[in-house]
Amino acid sequence: MSASTAPILITGASQRIGLHCAQRLLADGHPVIVTYRTLRPAIEELKAAGAITLQADFANEGQILAFIEQLKSHTDSLRAIVHNASDWHAETPGDEAAVFTQLFNVHMLAPYLINLHCEGLLAQSAVADIIHLSDDVARKGSANRPAYCASKAGLDNLTLSFAARFAPRIKVNGIAPALIMFNPDDDAAYREKTLKKSALGIEPGPEVIYQSVRYLLDNPYVTGTTLTINGGRHLK
């Protein structure tokens, strides 16, 4: 990916995959804008490294549109948008509708509105990309988290729709990961059980997602595609 003065926007970059991708892009000399919902020490580190950091909560339409206006006050162009912001809520009796609405807003409404309202910013870059971070679980659904899976499946469909809508000027692709990195409090039994779900049986770490982001940014002939980064889970 050639260097560009237009920044790359990464949503939800205060931790884990989003944070790693932001750090790697900054290290490679690319201007970066990140969003965060909760202020964590890593945000100050990104700011010190040169990133523009914007607080944003994508819980409803008003907050999403307010973020877009804030973004436009900081830049008049974008090289790419990486939609990484995500929620991991499970429905419990009595709050099903609220959980579904929250997941829909974060996983679908926010990317939808940001893509539409930032098309002009992307058009200012000689090369432009949108990347949706989905989830491999959307491939088969989940009895435990149907709302989460439905909203991620909807994001996969937005990849197809926006790829058609924005071609040939803006490439739009997705990445569907499965088990990239454990949480610190995941116990040994859970880790062993989860690793057995994939053919490769490893915890690869967030660099594999950055490699996928780079591939999509660098390749001029890929759009409307979702890369499956799951260690071969579909083989088992």
Active site residues: 148
Counting other chains too, the contacts that 64-69 makes at CB distance below 8 Å and 24 or more residues apart are: 64/105, 64/109, 64/110, 64/113, 64/114, 65/113, 65/117, 67/35, 67/114, 68/113, 68/114, 68/117, 68/118
The helix or strand, by DSSP H or E, that contains position 226, with its residue range, turns out to be: strand 226-229
d(Cα 79, Cα 208) in Å, to the nearest integer? 21
Could you tell me which residues come within 8 angstroms of residue 76 by beta carbon, excluding any fewer than 6 positions away? 121, 124
d(Cα 173, Cα 162) in Å, to the nearest integer? 9
The secondary structure of 130-193 as a DSSP string is EEEE--GGGGT--SS-HHHHHHHHHHHHHHHHHHHHHTTTSEEEEEEE------TT--HHHHHH
Instruction: At 230, list the tokens.
Output: 């799951």
Count of CB atoms situated within 10 Å of the CB of 80: 25
Characterize the bridge pairing of strands 52-55 and 171-177: unpaired
